[in-house]
Amino acid sequence: MKRVVVAGVGLSVVAGAAVFFAPLQTHMGLRRAALGLGGVRRVAAGSLLAYELNTCRPGAPCRCVALVHGMGDSAMTWDKTMLGRGGATKPPEGTLLLAVDMPGTDGSGHAADYGIRAQARVLRAALESRCPEWTVAGNSLGGWISGWLAVDWPQGVARLVLVNAAGLSDPSELALKAARLLAEPTIPEMKAFNAKAYGRPRPVPERAWPAAVASIRARPTRAILEALRLEDVLDSRLKDVAAETVIVWGEADGILPAEFAERFRRGVRGSRVELIRGCGHLPQQECPESVSRALFGAKP
């Protein structure tokens, strides 16, 4: 693999692991059940699986919103956004909300190429099959993929929401080190990552950590790491993003410092930054009200 120095290969590694009393499997089962009770279905979108909430009516205007997770994470990271929980604004009527599991994740087909632009092409095929125009929100590595989707498919991405996004050059290599950790994580390493990822780290029972680490190892983190290419950084291509862009950033992110939000703002014409105090790398889990506000507007 070429030596790649990239900001923002971080991910939501322990969103599912932040449980208090139940083992990870039970906790995740309860979250899936809540999605089902909230009208969210498990569907196929191209070669990917996704969670879908569809309140659009035949013949009426329909706003399509795609949610893209980070490296080592899954579509489940967006459950509060989909259900309007944890202070989040409930998705308005007339919305098709699609949280995708990217290639190799939780039942989605594996990819021949896990490069960033290749994953963006797979995502485009999944979205094109459903709607001609989208709001696309991506967290961490999902933000990097979403950025390339906006560059390569300007007619399909009307609005872009970057949530503590990856994809900028980073001489410090902090994010690259985090990505390397995820290829074969250990429990002590994931505990350290948890402390950096959250602005307000929650206690995780010892019995939950083995399953949390196993879930990450089951995802294509090593394949993604090995597919990272210097030519895929977004620095010089941000000027080509035509979509209305909002940059949402947890200021307490210990993986991707908030200075990267300003770099994205300078690169994307007309974009704006919304900083979230006390929030870390995973605003969709830790501060979901801020993410849903960027997507759907303020609560009434």
- Residue 86 and residue 9: Cα distance in Å, rounded? 26
CATH topology of domain 6-243+256-295: Rossmann fold (3.40.50)
For residue range 267-291, what is the model confidence (pLDDT) as tens digits?
Answer: 999 999 999 999 999 999 999 999 9
CB 245 within 8 A of CB 234: no
pLDDT beneath 50: ranges in the chain: 1-5, 10-22, 298-300
pLDDT recorded at residue 6: 53
272 DSSP β-pair partners: 246
Helix (H) or strand (E) holding 85: none
The C-alpha angle 141, 6, 258, rounded to 5 degrees, equals: 75
Structure pTM? 0.92
CB 140 within 8 A of CB 116: no
Sequence ranges of the domains in the chain: 6-243+256-295
Q: Could you give the strand order of the β-sheet that contains 134-140, starting from the edge strand earlier in sequence?
A: 41-45, 48-54, 95-101, 63-68, 134-140, 157-165, 244-250, 272-276
